[in-house]
Structures are given as structure tokens and as C-alpha cells.
Amino acid sequence: MRARAAALLALALALASCAGAPVGTSAASVAAAGNLFSTIPCAETELGRTWARLLPEAGVRFPGLVLTEVDDLHVTVVYVGPGWRREDLGRIRALALVAPAEPFASRPAIARFGATGHVVVAELADAPAAWRAAIDAAKAEMNRLGLKRPDRYDAGFRPHVTLAASRRRPPEATDAAELEAFREWVAGMATAAPASFSVSLGPETPVRLWLAGLPRPAEAPEYVDLERLPSRR
């Protein structure tokens, strides 16, 4: 709790720097701090509860990897990135908070992911096509309106939850070997007990706006929920 509060304080101080904008520029029109993205938190899913049990053992077995903390487990929906503006948050929320229109329970596949294969994820490969299409359409509209930076991941949405990453990117041979050993370890358990790795989503699933890349104490969570920040008027 103290670490999370400290992270919020660090962000509040970063946002306060907007007050130093040039004369004639309103604070609301200054780009705010951090990399913004919409996301579905996954700590309270079956996958999250299973990962909470596995994380201590994973830390011992795979000391060379960066393992995701339970509170940081999530599915990224729309990555907005840096340079977002607080004055645009209303329009961003209207477009980026895309939940599935119908409920579904995914049995994720454990796979290497990323342009360099530097992460191991639980990929929701069985997510509904309609949800994927809705997210792709939301990204296209946000790009058209200038609410986010276009990137190569805008088309072909592949929902996933990152479990581990290499410390170097691209991973070196030793990193790749440890990533593959980790993938095989998790995949074996997911195959044996798929229900314990499931992620159930639907129309009532909360979709949040999180921030990454903020100044924070070493023990603080990597991501901060935008809605938990002190409001600045």
C-alpha cells in the first residue's frame, strides 16, 4: 500500500510540472506524464490467482527473467503512448475502453511474444473475432482524430497477458534459453490444468486507463491507474 501511494505521489509531482508551461499555455493543453494505455487488469482472474501461487517458485527457478508482479497482470487494449493530453481524456475514454460485447472464458496459450521474442505471455488466442475487430476499429478512429500515435500493433489485435521478459532486448542466447525453459514450465501446468489459467471477460469487465514509465520507487507497481490520481483542476 505504501509503495502504491508513493507511486501516485511521484506521478502527482510529475504532473505538477505542467504548471511550468510557457505563459499563455494552459496546463490542460500540456502533454501529461507517462505512457497511457487502456487495459483489463487480470490479478483477480483464475490466471492471476494461479500466478500469485507460482510467482515465488518462478523467481527461484528463473532468476534471470523479469517476472510480472501479480498486481501488474493485464491485457493491453489500446496503447495510446506518450504525449497524451488531459484535455483529450474524455474522447480517449469514449473510444479506448473496449470490453467484449459477449462473455467468454479464454484458455490462454503460453507462448513467446514480441518482435524479438523477448517475453512469454498467456495469449488469449480464442478471444472473439468481434472484440478484436472493435478494438482495431477504435484504434483506427483514434489515429484519425490524433488521439494516439499510430504503431505497427494497431491492426490484428492479439490480446495477451505478459508473465515474464528477458532483461536484454533482443535476448541473448542465455536469455532465450531461460525464456524457453520458463515457457515450457508454465505451458506444462496450463496443459495439465487449463481451467486454473483461464481469463473470463465480458461486457461488465472493467477496462481502465493505466500509466507506465513514471518516476517511482523501486518497490512500487510498474503501472498506475489514472483514476486513482489526485485530480488537478
Q: CA 92, 96, 101, 105 torsion: positive or negative?
A: negative
Q: Taking a C-beta distance cutoff of 8 angstroms, is the pair 121, 161 a contact?
A: yes
Q: Which residue has the cell 497524451?
A: 84
Instruction: Copy the grid coordinates of residue 211.
Output: 500509466
- Return phi, psi of residue 80, to 5°: -90, -45
Confidence class of residue 9 from pLDDT cuts 50, 70 and 90? low
Q: Which residue has the higher pLDDT, 131 or 19?
A: 131
Q: In whole angstroms, give the CA distance from residue 84 to residue 102.
A: 30
Question: Chain-wide mean pLDDT for the chain?
Answer: 87
Residue 128, CA distances (Å) to 102, 119, 131, 134 in order: 8, 23, 5, 10
Per the domain annotation, does 158 fall within a domain?
yes
| Residue 195 DSSP label | G
Q: Which residues does 192 contact at the CB level (< 8 Å), separation at least 6?
A: none
Per the domain annotation, does 17 fall within a domain?
no
* pLDDT value, residue 2: 47
Count of domains for the chain: 1
Q: In whole angstroms, give the CA distance from residue 81 to residue 151.
A: 10
User: What would the mean pLDDT of 96-103 be, rounded to a whole number?
Assistant: 97
Q: Which residues does 18 contact at the CB level (< 8 Å), separation at least 6?
A: 27, 30, 32, 232
Q: What is the CATH number of the domain that holds 169?
A: 3.90.1140
Per the domain annotation, does 56 fall within a domain?
yes
Q: How big is the chain by its Cα radius of gyration, in Å? A: 18
Per the domain annotation, does 222 fall within a domain?
no
pTM of the entire structure?
A: 0.86
Per the domain annotation, does 112 fall within a domain?
yes
* pLDDT value, residue 231: 58
Per the domain annotation, does 144 fall within a domain?
yes
* pLDDT value, residue 23: 35
- Point out which residues pair with 65 in neighbouring strands: 166
Per the domain annotation, does 203 fall within a domain?
yes
Span of 92-96, 112-116, 172-176, 188-192 with lowest mean pLDDT: 112-116
pLDDT at 134 over 90: yes
Q: Which residue has the cell 493505466?
A: 210
Confidence class of residue 24 from pLDDT cuts 50, 70 and 90? very low
Per the domain annotation, does 30 fall within a domain?
no
| Residue 220 DSSP label | S
- Return phi, psi of residue 65, to 5°: -100, 155
Q: Buried (b) or exposed (e) across 174-202, using 16+ Cβ within 10 A?
A: ebbebbeebbebbbeebeeeeeebbbebe
pLDDT at 155 over 90: no
Domain containing 204: what range? 39-211
